[in-house]
Amino acid sequence: MRIPSRVIAIPLALLCCAACSPGELHGPSGQGDATASRADSGAPLDTAGDSNAADAAGDSKAGDAARDNSTPPSADAAVDSNTPPTADSSADTTTPPAADSSVDTTTPPAADSSVDSGSTTRFALDFPSNVSGADKTAPFVALQFDDPHTHGLPFAGPNNAGVTYMWRVKQRAQTGYYVTLWWAQGDGGFTPSAQYVGGHPYPKVANNTGTTHRWEIAAPSGGDYFDTRAGFQTSKDVVYDVWRTQALRVVRNSNGSKTYTFYSDLPSLAPIDVLEWTSGTGGDIANTPPPKPKITIGDSPWYQGYQHERLSGLFGELIIEAAARSEAEIVAQAQNLQQLTAAFAQAIWYFKPGWRSTADLTCEAGTGRTLYWADPANTAGLGALK
């Protein structure tokens, strides 16, 4: 998944003599060796909050998001991923989470037995592939949810309790960039220093001509991060046409930094399968929401100024939890995404144990939240959920 103005790891000596030129952005957060560029989205359907008109983004993103990624991030802000992160009492006060009037928050979601998907036939959503790596003209095929930060899902969770996303996906090979899911700017523009996050395949050549990919975390400010627990820039190559369960966790640390963890092949916790990056406490701290934030699944909202970055494959179950779950809880939930565990039922924000149709977009854990197709004339198809 990509966001405008990715920054790739460049030795400090080179930064002094080479100016970054706009490239193909693929989701903010960079640790590769090239700069990518991101762009605009189409106008959303007004069914899940305020409609957001498409703002055409420029053809390049701010270069001031660059950082020296030639050395691994310092460990001073690292979190212990083996235990649940504790809520940060020093919550960001820039944008306190507003109450979600659409959901009764006075009572917690029911235990997992009440959110069993039952025996109804379920499908995966079949998202299209890029027409070409550079294409900007194909339809925008994406699911969205407007203003999650005012509907119970701020970037780092309610009261900075964190967020955990979990899904199953089966990607097809394609040329260019991919996206699975973004929490990011949704009006077609891109603000590198603002809040955004995604986890997905990234072209190994770091531009939209790439046909082989590796896993990445995309996070502020405008970079692509390939570090795993096995070492600096060690993320594995993507194997296509394989169902895999993945999770993405955002944790705000006590010093204000944020730790992003992408479990690329659950239930594996092998160091090479767990990408992790901790931001600094300066420009990467990401305390400010972007303009018109949205959850977007299937493509990047800024495609009009950069290129499409499609999911290219089957997207199965989806769980969004308004809390940072422990590694043990994540592995337990990964065994069966069609029924919530007791841990994930505690702060469930959105739950979909598969899709009965392309119009079946309402959360099945009783929250009342509903996704919508950005362009109702162009939706994903249905595929076998295995």
Backbone angles phi, psi at 249, to 5 degrees: -125, 135
Say yes or no to pLDDT of 301 above 50. yes
**pLDDT confidence of residue 104:** 40
d(CA 224, CA 233): 10
d(CA 188, CA 186): 6
Say yes or no to pLDDT of 101 above 60. no
Under the banding of pLDDT at 50, 70 and 90, the label for residue 138 is very high
Tokens coding 259: 């730790």
Tokens coding 171: 């990607």
- 3-state class of 238 per DSSP? coil
**pLDDT confidence of residue 243:** 99
Under the banding of pLDDT at 50, 70 and 90, the label for residue 320 is very high
Under the banding of pLDDT at 50, 70 and 90, the label for residue 40 is very low
In the 8-state DSSP scheme, what is residue 336?
A: -
Bridge partners, 200 (sequence order): 216
- 3-state class of 237 per DSSP? strand
**pLDDT confidence of residue 89:** 39
How much is the average pLDDT of 322-340? 99
Query: If 0-12 CB within 10 Å is exposed, 13-18 middle and 19+ buried, where does residue 159 land?
Result: middle
Give CA angle at 347 (344, 349), nearest 5°: 100
Under the banding of pLDDT at 50, 70 and 90, the label for residue 9 is very low
Tell me the C-alpha to C-alpha distance, in Å, between residue 175 and each of 15, 259, 332.
29, 30, 34
Question: Higher model confidence: residue 20 or residue 126?
Answer: 126
The string of pLDDT tens digits covering residues 349-384 is 999 999 999 999 999 999 999 999 999 999 999 999
**pLDDT confidence of residue 146:** 98
Say yes or no to pLDDT of 222 above 90. no
d(CA 7, CA 323): 28
Under the banding of pLDDT at 50, 70 and 90, the label for residue 161 is very high
Residue of 118, 125, 58 whose CA lies nearest to 355: 125
Architecture of the CATH domain 1-59+120-386: Sandwich (2.60)
Residue of 257, 199, 266, 196 whose CA lies nearest to 226: 199
Q: Which residues contact 232 (CB under 8 A, 6 or more apart)?
A: 71, 72
Pairing of strands 293-297, 143-146: antiparallel
**pLDDT confidence of residue 282:** 74
What does R_g of the chain's alpha carbons equal in angstroms? Answer: 19
Pairing of strands 372-373, 197-203: unpaired
d(CA 129, CA 40): 18
Length of the chain: 386
Residue of 124, 59, 139 whose CA lies nearest to 299: 139
**Count of H-run helices and E-run strands, the chain:** 3, 15
**pLDDT confidence of residue 373:** 99
The domain spans of the chain are 1-59+120-386
**pLDDT confidence of residue 223:** 83
Percent of the chain with pLDDT over 70: 69
